[in-house]
Amino acid sequence: MSRRLFALILFLATAFTLVVHAAKPPKGETLDSVLKKVIEQQKKTKSLEAQFRQEKTLALLAQPEVSTGTFSFAKPNQVLWDYQAPRKLQLLIAKGWLTTYYPELNKAERLEVKRFEDRIFKYMGATGTIEELARYFDFTFTDTKGQPSYRLELSPKTKLVAKRVRKITIWIDRSSYLTNRFEYVEGDGDITKYEFTNIRLNQTIEPTRFTLNLPATVKMQSMKLN
């Protein structure tokens, strides 16, 4: 599997786990019981939209790169990352294809991911989400008095996974009990942070939201997995 697709699968798995409702942990609540409640909420989630802010800190960049846009998801298998600033970009998964559209460059890339859909979208629902992640990561749940959020940290269990990602950290807001922030550190030390706001669950999303209206002049390039 290519590094790009692996990162995408990991990111989708984490991102959707983050923005679902999290039950308020009562005194003495265990990590296992909290995660079970997260899974229960995932089962109820049919669609989701949110605004996002992405911040990437790369070794080759003097300053972090910040992007903003909208995230949309509809069961069973439609996802759209719609980047608005500083550059427009759309990343769509639908009908077995991953399509990345660069409007300013008048180009698009298509990658067939149909044979990986089950692996990708089982993370987007309840089936195996936490259990699958637990195969590769150790979980540390922190409830620090006076802090605005609970924190869940995922550390890789093996050196093989650590080559891809060193750490994932998830924050669950105390007041709303929504997870609205997370970051992951890649194996090479690059850091990506996301913040989600204006989260809307189970509201109608028009099917056209998951269609890219590409101009006839767009240059389409077909990509293959390594």
Q: Is residue 217 part of a domain?
A: no
In angstroms, the CA 152 to CA 174 distance is 13
**The most confident of 35-39, 116-120, 189-193, by mean pLDDT:** 189-193
In a domain, 172, yes or no: no
Examine residue 116 and state whether it is found in any structural domain, yes or no: yes
- Is 220 a domain residue? no
Residue 9, domain member (yes or no): yes
Structure-model confidence comparison of residues 61 and 106, the more confident one:
106
pLDDT digits (tens, 9 = 90+) for 123-138: 444 444 556 677 888 8
Domain that holds residue 40: 3-142+196-209
Q: Check if the beta carbon of residue 91 is closer than 8 Å to that of residue 100.
A: yes
What's the domain count of the chain?
1
Mean pLDDT within 13-17: 50
Q: What is the rounded average pLDDT of the residues 54-78? A: 88
Is residue 32 situated within a structural domain?
Answer: yes
In a domain? residue 28: yes
- Tell me, what's the pLDDT at 115? 72
Instruction: Output the domain CATH number for residue 19.
Output: 2.50.20
H helix runs in the chain, sequence order: 3-19, 31-44, 117-121, 129-136, 159-162
Task: Reduce the DSSP state of residue 40 to 3 states and report it.
Answer: helix
**Residue 105 forms part of a structural domain:** yes
Indicate yes or no: pTM above 0.85.
Answer: no
The C-alpha atoms of residue 87 and residue 104 are separated, in whole angstroms, by 8
Instruction: Output the CA angle 159-164-167, nearest 5 degrees.
Output: 80
At residue 180's C-alpha, the angle toward residues 174 and 186, to 5°, is 120
